[in-house]
Amino acid sequence: MVFGVIEDISLVGYIIRTFIVGIIAFLVGRYVLKRTIAQLTAYDFTLVWILGALTVAPLLDGKVSFTYIIVPLLTLFFWHYIFSVISLKNRTLSLFFNGKPVILIDDGKIIRKNLKKHFINVDLLMSELRLKNILDISEVKYVVLEPNGHFSTIKKESHRPVTPIDLNLSVKPVDLPLVIINDGKLFEENLMKSGLDKAWLMNNLAMYNVNDITNIYLATIDSFKKLYVAKKH
């Protein structure tokens, strides 16, 4: 007796239910959109908080059958999907569902009206600024309250770190190194993408005193053909 509405569920019944709930929880986590987990907006937030409570319900009470959680789960996924699609298609509705970012400090001036609207007092504002490594409020140019409740801060120009542009330096461009060996396995397509072949790799690996690929845990290559090698021990 595991499924259906059960008055007195046995211990074994609960254990079997736990396994099934575990599988459902995994599937929920697998198919929920990434944006939900990041809690980007109010409707993501609503979904993510309710999912956990919903999934474990059959374990709290024998009378909660699996139909009673699967239908609401599918309902929530359905509405969340609809909201996401509508938000992509229509900007006006998207701004309603997602919420508009609110400017709290504009060009160094505190906008009191917006602070009041979202019930944020000065202590809270200062706390959030400190969390962003800003101790002196006069260093801030912009503070924006994002729809997910996080604060974005932009410092005044003169309080920003010096960058290579300021000093007229030229630096190497940003690039993502490619993984060519992972746990002794060679990824030849990544090697080809860098315009190299296996002979070149073996030659270069010899410099690290390695002659067998299976002895390497990780090797990456950047766009300047510079190798990084980590051996197994």
Partner 1 sequence: MTKSLSLIYIHKIMVYWLNYSVRGGFMNLHTIFFQGETLNILELFIRASILYFMLFGSTKVMGFRQPGILTSYNFLMAAGISHIAASRMVNPKARLVDAIPIIIVYTLINLFISYLYFKAPSVVSQKPIILIKNGKLIKKNLSKAKLTLDNLISILRQKDVSNLENVGFLIAESTGDFSVAVNNNNLPITKIDMAMEPSQDTLSQILIYKGKVDEKILNRNSLNYDWIDKELKSNNIDNIKAVYLGLLTTDKKLYISP
Chain residues that interact with partner 1, rule: CB under 8 A? 5, 39, 41-46, 49-50, 53-54, 57-58, 60-61, 63-65, 67-69, 71-72, 74-76, 79, 91, 99, 102-103, 107, 115-121, 123-124, 127-128, 130-131, 133, 135, 142, 144-151, 154, 157-162, 166
114 Cβ neighbours under 8 A, 6+ residues apart:
102, 103, 104, 145
Output the six-digit token pair for 202: 């073996």
- The CB-of-38 to partner 1 minimum distance in angstroms stands at 11
Residue whose CB is less far from partner 1, 147 or 221: 147
- The CB-of-222 to partner 1 minimum distance in angstroms stands at 24
Could you tell me which of 169, 173, 189 has the C-alpha nearest to residue 181? 189
- The CB-of-20 to partner 1 minimum distance in angstroms stands at 14
Q: For residue 184, is it left (φ>0), alpha (ψ between -120 and 50) or beta?
A: left
Residue whose CB is less far from partner 1, 110 or 178: 110
Backbone angles phi, psi at 184, to 5 degrees: 80, 0
Residue whose CB is less far from partner 1, 121 or 223: 121
- The CB-of-207 to partner 1 minimum distance in angstroms stands at 32
Alpha carbons 127 and 135: distance in angstroms, whole number:
9
Residue whose CB is less far from partner 1, 31 or 211: 31
- The CB-of-94 to partner 1 minimum distance in angstroms stands at 10
Could you tell me which of 191, 179, 220, 184 has the C-alpha nearest to residue 229? 220
Alpha carbons 33 and 50: distance in angstroms, whole number:
15
Contact 194, 176 (CB under 8 A): no
CB atoms within 10 A of CB 88: 9
Residue whose CB is less far from partner 1, 163 or 209: 163
Residue whose CB is less far from partner 1, 15 or 74: 74
- The CB-of-171 to partner 1 minimum distance in angstroms stands at 15
